[in-house]
Amino acid sequence: MDAYGRDINLHDFGRIASLISPEATFWFTDGTHHGLHDIRAAFETTWRQLENEVYGLKDIAWVARGRFSACCTYRFFWTAEINGNGIAGGGLGTTVLRKEDDGLWRIIHEHLSKAP
């Protein structure tokens, strides 16, 4: 999660693709994205729309840890510009990681939503 939180701000999906399972499903406020192709498209659309976006995670809490899976919750935040105007947002996130056949941990599911 540290590498994901850091590398996502490079705005280069190639830098985070190895952290995401090819079978992953991401639930964002704009819809459901399944598989690396759809997830890549969602990230790249966001990066095109939000100039100078900076994304971060805080208050990561590991709610489950096992031999082959783990799950954490967190708060996420972001700042960006649209047409030169500053905007910001954030919400709540849940990420499930799975130890894959190659022995590496990858994100298999991410769910981001607005804070209540």
pLDDT given at position 41: 97
Distances (CA, A) of 51 to 18, 44, 45, 48, 84: 24, 12, 11, 7, 8
Give all domains of the chain, ordered by start, each with its CATH number: 2-114 (3.10.450.50)
Closest to 107 in 3D by CA, of 17, 9, 24: 24
pLDDT in tens, 5-62: 999 999 999 999 999 999 999 999 889 999 999 999 999 999 999 999 999 999 999 9
CB distance 42 to 16 below 8 Å: no
Structure tokens that stand for 57 in this block: 């995670």
Distances (CA, A) of 29 to 32, 33, 86, 105: 8, 11, 20, 25
Local confidence band at 110 (pLDDT 50, 70, 90 cut-offs) = very high
Structure tokens that stand for 23 in this block: 């079978």
Tell if the pTM clears 0.85, that is, is over it: yes
